[in-house]
A and B are shown apart, each in its own frame.
Chain A
Amino acid sequence: GENVEQHPSTLSVQEGDSAVIKCTYSDSASNYFPWYKQELGKGPQLIIDIRSNVGEKKDQRIAVTLNKTAKHFSLHITETQPEDSAVYFCAAMGPTTSGTYKYIFGTGTRLKVLA
């Protein structure tokens, strides 16, 4: 079945440095790739997404890149701040046999930004 691998599982960076989280998906029919940030005790919050017809997307300090051939996509956070500390999940979305769509989540990355 569809699988999404996410690395690393934990990441510590100094404030102001960049952080990169990588995901690999298995189903070539996947066509939408969101990234979620989950803070302690809260639900996941969508921070950026990318569709399969786009190679890169940027929103201020956050960017996502997609390599469809290699089935890789990555989250890049520049100029990290302590409030970026959270668990980040990638996901791949594709069609199911019933005609609906569902996410397959990565296993998560715990990011710690050290002040």
Chain B
Amino acid sequence: DTEVTQTPKHLVMGMTNKKSLKCEQHMGHRAMYWYKQKAKKPPELMFVYSYEKLSINESVPSRFSPECPNSSLLNLHLHALQPEDSALYLCASSPSGTGAYEQYFGPGTRLTVT
């Protein structure tokens, strides 16, 4: 299995809702990432998990809460989001968390906050 899967594909939520995004990989990769991508912009790093521990938080607001239950699974919990948080949320994984390696991206979750 050489892919990163993300669910759901699309999500519409109100500003008072709580929802979660899910990411899964079965390539044995030890680093996993959350990115946010706005239209016509490059992906913007949010969080990095290396060996199931949070190693980078790019000053992301607390309404985004990441979780890494095991080496194959990464969640992003969403609460009290703002309309400007509407974007494509991408998950990626990489073979190692301690070296410069390729990252493999999932198809993303298109999030709309109303």
Chain B associates with chain A: yes
Which residues on A are within 8 Å of B, measured CB to CB? 31-32, 34, 36, 42-46, 49, 51, 89, 93-96, 98-103, 105-108
State whether the Cβ of B104 lies closer than 8 Å to any Cβ in chain A: yes
Min CB–CB distance B71 → chain A (angstroms): 16
- Judge whether B66 is part of the interface by a CB distance below 8 angstroms: no
Most buried by A among B4, B102, B106, B108: B102
Determine if B107 and A43 form an interchain contact, defined as CB atoms under 8 angstroms apart. yes
Inter-chain CA distance A34–B50, complex, in Å, is 20
**Contact of B90 with A44 in the complex, beta carbons under 8 Å:** yes
Q: Specify which chain A residues have a CB less than 8 angstroms from the CB of B90 in the assembled complex.
A: 43-44
Residues from chain A with Cβ under 8 Å of B4 in the complex: 43
Give Cα distance in the complex from A102 to B56, angstroms.
Answer: 9
- Looking at B31, B56, B97, the one whose CB has the most chain A CB atoms below 10 A away is B56
| Residues of chain B whose beta carbon lies under 8 Å from any beta carbon of chain A | 4, 31, 40-43, 45, 48, 50, 55-56, 90, 97-108
Main secondary structure of the interface of B (DSSP, over half): loop
Contact flag A46-B103 (CB < 8 Å), given A89-B42, A98-B55, A100-B31: yes
Q: Is the CB of B105 within 8 A of A99?
A: no
Given contacts A43-B90, A45-B105, A100-B50, contact A94 B42 (CB under 8 A): no
Partner of A34, one of B41, B97, B102, B107: B102
Closest B residue, CB atoms, query A52: B100
* Residue of A93, A101, A106 most packed against chain B (CB within 10 A): A101
Residues of B within 8 A of A106 (CB): 42
Q: Is B104's CB under 8 angstroms from A46's CB? A: yes
